[in-house]
Chain A
Amino acid sequence: MAQMATADRLTGLRARPGLLERIDVPRRVMFVAAASMIAIVALLMGFIAWQGIQLFVKDGVSVGQILSTTWQPDPENGATNYGLLPFITATVLVTAVALLISTPLSVGLALFLSEVAPQWARAIVQPALEIFVGIPSVVWGWLGITTLVPFLAHTFHDPISLSLPIVGQVFSMPGFFFGYSWLAGSLVLSIMVLPTITSVSYDAFRAVPQELRTGSLALGTTRWQMIRHLLLPAALSGVLTAVVLGMTRAAGEALAVQMVIGNAPIMPEAITQPLTTLTSQITLDMGNTTFGSPWQDALWTMSLVLLIISVTSVVLVRVINKRRLGA
């Protein structure tokens, strides 16, 4: 009898689950929801890539011409030339200056929050940063137009030059004139990427074990020595990730930059001059061109360049983090 009971129980445990349980509908539904992101990315990349190569395939524009410096897309003004180099260079430089301004500030802020700030100060600054994240880009652009741009135009209207005795003129550049400029774009971007770089580096600093901090302090180092020589090197890959993510955001930001940069499709020479980035040119022209025209195809090629930049950054972040895990 006892044996029978055991045998029964065993078969019970081994019974095949019912059909519904085997199909596990909830799991499948949720998988489809998650996997929809793969479909979105694949479709997006496919469509943008397809549109982006039309300029070469359909309109017969050479890659060499894309890399030239003249942007003359309008056939009514004579021979067209689809040089994208001014936009690419401007995107790189505007982003670079934005990061130069924002990185020290954001990393400093992350250090403040993770190492220095008492509880009450953190409880004020962190929500403030979240509000920064929430402010829409058109509002940043409008703030730039109403405060930053007039400030630059008033204060540095005339050409700026620095002369030293004996050495003579060290450097000179044109003034800001109307204020719409590379610097205005970079400054607006630097504030917009500040929360991104801050929060990612903050996480990187928090991930450094507390014992390392006490270990350093117990050796008689000051807090700053500990931060400078232990914490920053230990969190370096995280900080780099933060900067790459900030870079991606800055390079892809469209409206705020378009509003303050002045929209001049020329090669960058001075930080005081108006420029146009990839995003701002697309924003400006996409609505005014006809579908299938070489002019619009050139805009699609620009968005393909943007897409390549962002995918590269995703890969870059992965490489940086893999190295950290490997070390």
Chain B
Amino acid sequence: MTASNPAVGRPAGPKPSLRRRGSRGSILADHAATVALWGTGVLVLVILGAIILHFALAAWGVVSPSFILGDPSRTTLGGVLPILWNSIYILVLTMLIAVPLGILAGIYMSEYAGDNIATTAIRFAEESISSVPSIVVGLFGLILFVDDFHWGFSALGGSLALTFFNLPLMTRLAEQALRAVPQEERSASLALGATKWQTIRHVVLPLAIPGLITGVILTAGRVFGEAAVLLFTSGVGTPQHYNFLNFDLTSVASPWSPFRPATTLSVYIWNLNSEGLGAFKTQIIDGSAAILIAIVLIFNLGARFIGRVLTRRLTAA
């Protein structure tokens, strides 16, 4: 008997029909839940869209070349360039310290860390710093760099405090990037007689580069917007005119010196809001906030884009 088609069946007599909804209540609850859960997703998009639109409109007519490049000493609209410069300066300084340190720590946690007390302690420290409020990290910087080291408010002190605050994040992202490299790649290299360090250096690290770059950019995004850590370490002030030709690193007036106070964009917004007077306060904050949001968007999309491009290039090669 091969496949035949005796499509005979018992008529759906006394049996409950499949079309009968078992319990109307539970089906209704299911539909309601589905709608509600979709609602949360839509809500997030609406809020984000509204925020971006809000700042786009607020920045309209405010952000212009003169808003950035204008003379900060005049009480008109503009001249945030020195502030923007400080933000970038502190970002670069922080990343110069945090990225190598974070990647080294990430390699240790991914490749070497055994199941021992040291590892447990490092993990605990990692989680602890992540949960310490940023303002407390800022206060720690205040005691250590401003008072004990007698640096006063300085870009370097701010960068070090930011490094403390973001090291766990950088470490975790680096560790994840390295762990994502398949174990077989390591085994293959070790089987060829390479030492552990050679394996990491020549096999694991190159494969982890897309993940590492994404991690660096995400960390950079957080460093760029942080204000509470910097409030009491790199200082609060207003834009001042910088002479970019002054390369004397020991001079407080040089924009290149790590030992000068440096107000960043986020801190500037906070300060304007708390103490700022003047007719243009709202416009300046709106414009600065719009610049911050734009940079955050660039960091985010950039991390995504570069990660994708590098992954494709690596997997194609």
Q: Per a CB cutoff under 8 Å, which of A109, A111, A252 touches B132?
A: A252
Question: A17's closest neighbor in chain B, by CB?
Answer: B195
Given contacts A255-B228, A291-B147, A314-B127, contact A36 B167 (CB under 8 A): yes
Count of A-B contacts judged by CB separation below 8 Å: 245
B103-122 interface with A by 8 A CB criterion = 104-105, 107-109, 112-113, 118, 121-122
**B249 interface residue, CB < 8 Å from A?**
no
Most chain A CB neighbours (cut-off 10 Å) among B102, B131, B289, B297: B131
Given contacts A125-B44, A138-B227, contact A38 B122 (CB under 8 A): yes
Binary B-proximity of A101-135 (CB < 8 A = 1, otherwise 0): 00001001101110111000100110111111011
List A contacts of B43 (CB < 8 A): 105
User: How long is the Cα–Cα vector from A127 to B98 in the complex, in angstroms?
Assistant: 25
Query: Is there contact, CB below 8 Å, between B171 and A314?
Result: no
Q: Per a CB cutoff under 8 Å, which of A26, A245, A252 touches B134?
A: A252
**A282 interface residue, CB < 8 Å from B?**
yes
Query: Is there contact, CB below 8 Å, between B270 and A255?
Result: yes
Given contacts A38-B121, A134-B296, contact A117 B128 (CB under 8 A): no
Query: Is there contact, CB below 8 Å, between B236 and A259?
Result: no
B159-177 interface with A by 8 A CB criterion = 164, 167-168, 171
Query: Is there contact, CB below 8 Å, between B171 and A37?
Result: yes
Q: In the complex, how many angstroms separate the beta carbon of A55 from the nearest chain B beta carbon?
A: 14
**B231 interface residue, CB < 8 Å from A?**
yes
Given contacts A40-B125, A109-B40, A225-B30, contact A191 B47 (CB under 8 A): yes
- Selecting from B2-10, B31-39, B69-77, B78-86, the interface stretch reads B31-39
Query: Is there contact, CB below 8 Å, between A223 and B30?
Result: yes
Query: Is there contact, CB below 8 Å, between A282 and B139?
Result: yes
Interface size class of B (residues with CB under 8 A): 35 or more
Query: Is there contact, CB below 8 Å, between A127 and B112?
Result: no
Q: In the complex, how many angstroms separate the beta carbon of A292 from the nearest chain B beta carbon?
A: 10
List A contacts of B128 (CB < 8 A): 41, 310-311, 314
List B contacts of A128 (CB < 8 A): 44-45, 48
Q: Per a CB cutoff under 8 Å, which of B41, B231, B300 touches A109?
A: B41
Question: B100's closest neighbor in chain A, by CB?
Answer: A33
Given contacts A135-B225, A142-B289, contact A41 B129 (CB under 8 A): yes
Q: In the complex, how many angstroms separate the beta carbon of B234 from the nearest chain A beta carbon?
A: 13
List B contacts of A42 (CB < 8 A): 125
User: How long is the Cα–Cα vector from A121 to B40 in the complex, in angstroms?
Assistant: 12
